[in-house]
Amino acid sequence: MDITVAIDCMGGDHGPHVTVPSAIDYLRHDPEANIILVGIPDVIEAELRAAKAELSPRLRLHSANEVVGMDESPALALRWKKNSSMRVSLNLVKTGEAQACISAGNTGALLAISRFVLKTIPGVDRPALAVILPTIAGHTYVLDLGANVDCTAEHLFQFGIMGASLVSSVEDKPSPSVGLLNVGEEEIKGNEVVKQAAELLRQSGLNFYGNVEGNDIYKGTTDVVVCDGFVGNITLKTSEGLAQMLATYLREEFKRNWLTRLAGVVAMPVINSFKHRVDHRRYNGASLLGLRGIVIKSHGSADNYAFGFAIKRAADEVRGGMLRRISERVSELSHHSQTSAQAVTR
């Protein structure tokens, strides 16, 4: 299936130095993909020359002369930078010239501008950021990861619908299981919002597994894990911190003396293969769900390899008909949910 994605080439810690070579690499592996490089022409052309690549019908350039800074206020970026590479990329999705857009830029600005430019799908109150995480069994999708810090039960319910739609569009799973992140001790059954969300999910047509606990994420108990953005952001960052700590400890242990260094040399292939398995770059690319267009947020520090996974994610969502699936499910379930919401709050 022929697709076109727009890349905000200026975003991220490394800008075009990563985004342009990564786009060139991607086209080699996906012969039916087309890419529009969006950003400052001179800079992009310099990167193309450095990579010994040329523009072509499959690799076009779209000029955008402003750049949203990584620490810039999202509100100001939204208001004043109407010709930023980020906004122009989103406009290309809006006009249909591209079916998806990828940015490694300022997360807050991307959330604000994409919502303004693309608008939400009818029935979706708030877009949510979904990431994919490795599990013992395979992988799982978790949302929201920081787009919404205060959520109602209805929002969590919508996240469930969107997460399930995402999974059924990019994986061969017609009815993905959805878990609601909660505290597990029997005596503590979660806060009020989560309890109501569970009720809404239970009454929906979704394949609702029920409450899941923190350890269920990496166990891979369900295909989708739903939580608010506050819990999601903290959970994800805690995981990053723990992984870094364990990596530091392991490195220190192997560096303790000449014997352990020798053991390190012998164990190197195993450690490398372990590292590859947990390499967070392979999970790069968070999906911004609930908008009338496909938007992928790459990690700001992504390198070529990592950015390629974000492009692939965008392509997979386009080919899987993610937007159509979300719209259908939301309209199918939203009447139902309104009725249930009334029943729950009554």
The amino acid present at 201, given as its one-letter code, is L
For residue 28, state whether it binds a copy of itself (rule: CB under 8 A). no
CB of 335 to a copy of itself, least distance (A): 30
Q: For residues 34 and 182, which CB has a smaller minimum distance to a copy of itself in the complex?
A: 182
Size of the site for a copy of itself (CB under 8 A): 71
Q: For residues 95 and 266, which CB has a smaller minimum distance to a copy of itself in the complex?
A: 266
Euclidean distance between CA atoms 300 and 262, whole angstroms: 36
Q: For residues 50 and 262, which CB has a smaller minimum distance to a copy of itself in the complex?
A: 262
Euclidean distance between CA atoms 79 and 88, whole angstroms: 14
For residue 23, state whether it binds a copy of itself (rule: CB under 8 A). no
Burial of 193 (0-12, 13-18, 19+ CB in 10 A): middle
Going by their DSSP bridges, the two strands 100-103 and 128-134 should be labelled as unpaired
Interface positions, 270-289, toward a copy of itself (CB under 8 A): 270-271, 273-274, 277-278
Taking CB under 8 A as the criterion, the residue among 16, 21, 105, 146 binding a copy of itself is 146
Preceding peptide of 2 cis, ω within 30°: no
What 3-state class would DSSP assign to 14? coil
C-beta separation of 109 from 12 below 8 A: no
Interface positions, 97-126, toward a copy of itself (CB under 8 A): 107-109, 111-112
Q: Which tokens in the block code for residue 233? A: 């952001």
Euclidean distance between CA atoms 24 and 291, whole angstroms: 27
Euclidean distance between CA atoms 60 and 197, whole angstroms: 45
For residue 51, state whether it binds a copy of itself (rule: CB under 8 A). no
Interface positions, 201-260, toward a copy of itself (CB under 8 A): 213-219, 227, 229-231, 233-246, 248-250, 253-254, 256, 259-260
For residue 175, state whether it binds a copy of itself (rule: CB under 8 A). no
Handedness of CA 329, 334, 335, 337 (dihedral sign): positive
- Per-residue x/- mask for a copy of itself, residues 298 to 337, rule CB under 8 A? ----------------------------------------
For residue 12, state whether it binds a copy of itself (rule: CB under 8 A). no
For residue 343, state whether it binds a copy of itself (rule: CB under 8 A). no
For residue 61, state whether it binds a copy of itself (rule: CB under 8 A). no
